């Protein structure tokens, strides 16, 4: 049984995601409700090693639930990947009377959380990433906002693409995961969806479909390209050379990380934040809060990191039927 937690630290690490502030707010207010103290750790593990630690109360998290990004800021930290850095982080926690930490981030952040847990600091992870690539959960904080941001942008590109009778390649984020691309492919009625998990590199088939669709009277051709495939600009040049159809690449980039979180991201992140504090209050450690089959659940960090995730085959097959 892990030690009873009296003071909780909360940090955000890795890429920012809309809804992180909602999770921070829930952690702080739930902890205070349960009689715990809360400290905010600025700039992730890098800030922990620099002792950028501030006291937090209910006022600290007022009027943040609607804001994108993270009020605690975020960074990546090479030093914390070393044993020396991890031991230093645990000692700084003890120095500041932090006996439990809520880590909001992705798989790299969870590895760090697992190391802190092994060094005696109770840790709970919350899946904060727009990529939806955490295997133990069907939902990650920020995905819903990011995919809606991308969807709205793609609708706008479609308008101008149709006006000019162009082919448009629109690249969305997701690292090596194709979930944003798949969802936008569905939602935007794309003619082609290129997913890292499925793309075979057959560009000629793509070119043939563009030509066939133009012959059938299509005035535009929207290709959603995932970040894990990339090279959208060079792909556009090759397609234009092969088809004679003006082809433009649009890389949506980090706009997908920003903006006010959707209702779903605010609510789910809040519930996850509260659940993280409840787990610490129960004496739990080395856990990740997830959402599976409509329920909020938790997993051992090492078990969660060993899990794998793939694009659902049924969704992929439906996407193939709906495009063209």
Residue 248 among known ligand-binding residues: yes
Among the listed residues 200, 282, 203, the one whose alpha carbon sits nearest the alpha carbon of residue 241: 203
Residue 293 among known ligand-binding residues: no
Three-class DSSP category at 308:
coil
Among the listed residues 27, 109, 107, the one whose alpha carbon sits nearest the alpha carbon of residue 74: 109
Interatomic CA distance for residues 232 and 241, integer angstroms: 14
Interatomic CA distance for residues 244 and 249, integer angstroms: 15
Residue 218 among known ligand-binding residues: yes
Interatomic CA distance for residues 89 and 96, integer angstroms: 11
Residue 201 among known ligand-binding residues: no
Residue 266 among known ligand-binding residues: no
Residue 112 among known ligand-binding residues: no
Tokens 């509260």 map to which residue? 274
Residue 94 among known ligand-binding residues: no
Residue 244 among known ligand-binding residues: no
Interatomic CA distance for residues 97 and 240, integer angstroms: 62
Q: Which of 131, 133, 144, 298 is catalytic?
A: 131
Rg (CA), the chain: 22
Apex CA 226: angle with CA 298 and CA 205, to 5°?
Answer: 130
DSSP 243-281: H-S-EEEEE-GGGGG-SPPPHHHHHHHHHHHHHHHHHHH
Three-class DSSP category at 119:
coil
Residue 227 among known ligand-binding residues: yes
Residue 158 among known ligand-binding residues: yes
Residue 77 among known ligand-binding residues: yes
Residue 107 among known ligand-binding residues: yes
Residue 204 among known ligand-binding residues: no
Residue 173 among known ligand-binding residues: yes
Residue 264 among known ligand-binding residues: no
Residues 6+ positions from 126 with CB-CB distance below 8 Å:
23, 102, 103, 104, 105, 141, 269, 272, 273, 276, 288, 289
Q: Is there a contact between 224 and 192 (Cβ–Cβ < 8 Å)?
A: yes
Residue 66 among known ligand-binding residues: no
β-sheet with 221-226: strand ranges across: 192-194, 221-226, 167-172, 247-251
Q: Is 131 a catalytic residue?
A: yes
Residue 302 among known ligand-binding residues: no
**Annotated binding residues for ADP, as ranges?**
25-29, 158, 189-191, 216, 218-220
**Annotated binding residues for substrate, as ranges?**
129-131, 166, 173-175, 227, 248, 254-257
**Annotated binding residues, as ranges?**
15, 25-29, 76-77, 106-109, 129-131, 158, 166, 173-175, 189-191, 216, 218-220, 227, 248, 254-257
Q: Which residues are catalytic?
A: 131
**Annotated binding residues for Mg(2+), as ranges?**
107
**Annotated binding residues for ATP, as ranges?**
15, 76-77, 106-109
């Amino acid at each position: 049984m892990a030690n009873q937690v009296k003071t909780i630290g909360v940090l955000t690490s890795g890429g920012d995601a809309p809804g992180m502030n909602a999770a921070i707010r829930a952690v702080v207010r739930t902890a205070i409700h349960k009689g715990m103290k809360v400290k905010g750790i600025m700039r992730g593990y890098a800030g922990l090693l620099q002792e950028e630690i501030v006291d937090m109360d209910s006022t600290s998290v007022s009027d943040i639930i609607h804001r994108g990004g993270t009020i605690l800021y975020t960074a990546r930290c090479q030093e914390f990947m070393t044993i020396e850095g991890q031991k230093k982080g645990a000692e700084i926690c003890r120095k500041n009377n932090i006996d439990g930490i809520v880590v909001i981030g992705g798989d790299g952040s969870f590895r760090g959380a697992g190391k802190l847990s092994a060094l005696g600091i109770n840790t709970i992870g919350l899946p904060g990433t727009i990529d939806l690539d955490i295997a133990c959960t069907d939902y990650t904080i920020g995905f819903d906002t990011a995919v809606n941001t991308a969807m709205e942008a793609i609708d706008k590109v479609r308008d101008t693409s149709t006006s000019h009778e162009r082919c448009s390649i629109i690249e969305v984020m997701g690292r090596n995961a194709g979930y944003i691309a798949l969802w936008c492919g569905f939602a935007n009625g794309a003619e082609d969806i290129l997913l890292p998990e499925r793309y075979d590199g057959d560009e000629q088939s793509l070119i043939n479909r563009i030509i066939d669709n133009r012959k059938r009277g299509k005035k535009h051709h929207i290709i959603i390209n995932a970040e894990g495939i990339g090279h959208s600009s060079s792909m556009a040049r090759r397609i234009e050379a092969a088809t004679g159809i003006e082809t433009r690449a649009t890389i949506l980039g980090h706009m997908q990380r920003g903006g006010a979180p959707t209702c779903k991201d605010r609510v789910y992140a809040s519930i996850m934040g509260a659940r993280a504090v409840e787990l610490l209050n129960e004496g739990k450690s080395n856990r990740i809060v997830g959402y599976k089959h409509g329920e909020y659940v938790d997993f051992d960090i090492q078990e969660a990191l060993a899990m794998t995730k793939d694009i659902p085959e049924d969704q992929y097959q439906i996407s193939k039927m709906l495009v063209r």
